[in-house]
A and B are shown apart, each in its own frame.
Chain A
Amino acid sequence: MIVYILCFILFLVGLYGLITRRNLIKIVISLSIMEFSVFLFLVIIGYIDAGVAPIVELSNQNVIYVDPLPQAMVLTAIVIGLATTAMLLAIAIRLYRKYKTFDIREINNLRG
């Protein structure tokens, strides 16, 4: 039970960074921390005590496997996480070229 709550605290740390930081790079970091906590939570949900990794053992029939469904979904989500992070960083570096700062308030003021 404590593991679930710690996972959620990790998510909340990321959310706190997302709200209070003013630096684009810090915002990207906070988003990836939130991503990590969600991956960890989904995999913890599927864990079974004394289970083995979901690869069928042909010789032994009486084996408990951990839940393979969350693992398959998280596998795609990790690669999507890389793609979104790269996209955000591309936008950040482009904004830096234009405004010479990572401060989102400055970028907001200089608009128009």
Chain B
Amino acid sequence: MKGMSIIVKKVAQLISGLIFLYGIYIITHGHLTPGGGFAGGAIIAGAYILNILAFGSDAMNLKNKEQGSSLSESLAIFIVLMLAVFALFIGSKIFFANYLPKGQLGEIISAGAIPLYNIFIGIEVAAAIITIFLALVIFKEEVKK
């Protein structure tokens, strides 16, 4: 897959950073405004896919990136599971209990463990979508050779 013209490359560079930041905002404000881990993760994956489409697959070292995204996906789902298991050891003995202090309603640091779950689910969704896309791109490259 070849890259596109220099105008598209520059615009993609400018836009993708903003989209990435918006995805992080959606994830971290998941318990206050619409959105959350799923939406933010998909937006971050979208920013990454925009970069790959604009710059083409030659400019990037896709194999290493695929390994990295696959690893971060596995780690993120492991951490989500560990956060849920961790509740078993702290007093309540309930799987998925919300063991951290709740804080003030409407503050950004509130809602106990929910922002943590949001962040790691976001990483998991983003890494899974990026892995699927990179697998398709690498398959196309290898068939052409």
Contacts and interface: CB of A to CB of B under 8 A. Distances in A.
A and B touch in the complex (CB under 8 A): yes
Given A58-B105, A79-B42, A90 B34 contact: no
Given A55-B34, A58-B105, A79 B125 contact: yes
- Do most interface residues of chain A lie in helix, strand or loop, or is the interface mixed? helix
A39 to B, nearest CB: 14
B143 A97 contact: yes
B108 interface: no
A78 B33 CA distance: 19
Contacts, number: 25
A73 interface: no
B38 A93 contact: no
Contacts of A93: 136, 139
Interface of B: 33-34, 36, 38, 42, 105-106, 125, 128-129, 132, 135-136, 139, 143
Interface of A: 53, 55-56, 58, 75-76, 78-79, 82-83, 86, 89-90, 93, 97
